[in-house]
Amino acid sequence: MPHVLPFLDVLVRRHPGGGFEARVYQKPTFTSLTTKWDSFVSKTYKYNALSTKIYRAIKICSSYTGLHREFEFIRSLAINNGYPIYVIDSIIRRQLDLIYTPSTPISPPSLTTDTVVLRVPYYGSLSQVYAKQIISATNKNYPLKKIRLIYDVKERVGSGFTLKDPIPHQMEVGVVYEAICPKCTAHYTGKTFRHFKARIHEHHNY
């Protein structure tokens, strides 16, 4: 395509009359998949899956026409992955407000607050109820503590894979062992810093 240059996730287009326009670039291998709305994960991850795309569009698109076109693409993508339209529009409004609405300056607090990170196993709505109870109890008893909740999963994909090959017992180092003489009651306890196989070989030959 003439006068077009894709670079990372930005598509730069040169107009015949002069000037440039930037918009979001989607690779030909893009699958139009994202976190499903009915996925068994916290809604925070679902909101973030769209808000990051919306934030990228706002920062990259150089014209309101291109931004509107990208918003329509994000809406279509989200709807195809099961997102309700009211959720999509609310996330778009929130991202626009964060960027284009000036924030009210907040005076620094006189007292410092500590942030405590708490991991909560995710079991659906039960985890959300449990998290709200923790935050409520903390705000009541420890007002200077700010709880940051992270929903975690019990089983991870990586737990089903072995990252390293198991080391054979004869090739281990730092092994504490006991050698017993077969002809008398003498015994020897030691720890090897070389391979266990090499140390046993030394006992047999010296």
Supply the pLDDT for residue 49.
87
Domain presence at residue 12: yes
50 and 95 belong to one structural domain: yes
Q: Structure tokens of 45?
A: 């991850």
33 and 86 belong to one structural domain: yes
Domain presence at residue 107: no
78 and 20 belong to one structural domain: yes
73 and 132 belong to one structural domain: no
Domain that holds residue 200: 169-205
Number of domains in the chain: 3
Domain presence at residue 75: yes
Supply the pLDDT for residue 148.
84
183 and 148 belong to one structural domain: no
Domain presence at residue 106: no
* Predicted structure pTM score: 0.52
87 and 21 belong to one structural domain: yes
Supply the pLDDT for residue 166.
76
Domain presence at residue 26: yes
The amino acid occupying position 102 is: P
In tens, the pLDDT along 66-117 reads 888 888 888 999 999 999 999 889 988 888 888 777 777 777 666 677 888 8
16 and 88 belong to one structural domain: yes
122 and 43 belong to one structural domain: no
Domain presence at residue 163: no
Supply the pLDDT for residue 2.
65
Domain presence at residue 192: yes
147 and 176 belong to one structural domain: no
Low-confidence stretches of the chain (pLDDT < 70) are 1-2, 108-111, 154-163, 203, 206
133 and 180 belong to one structural domain: no
DSSP string, 43-90: HHHHHHHHHHHHHHHHHH--SHHHHHHHHHHHHHHHHHTT--HHHHHH
Domain presence at residue 164: no
36 and 62 belong to one structural domain: yes
28 and 78 belong to one structural domain: yes
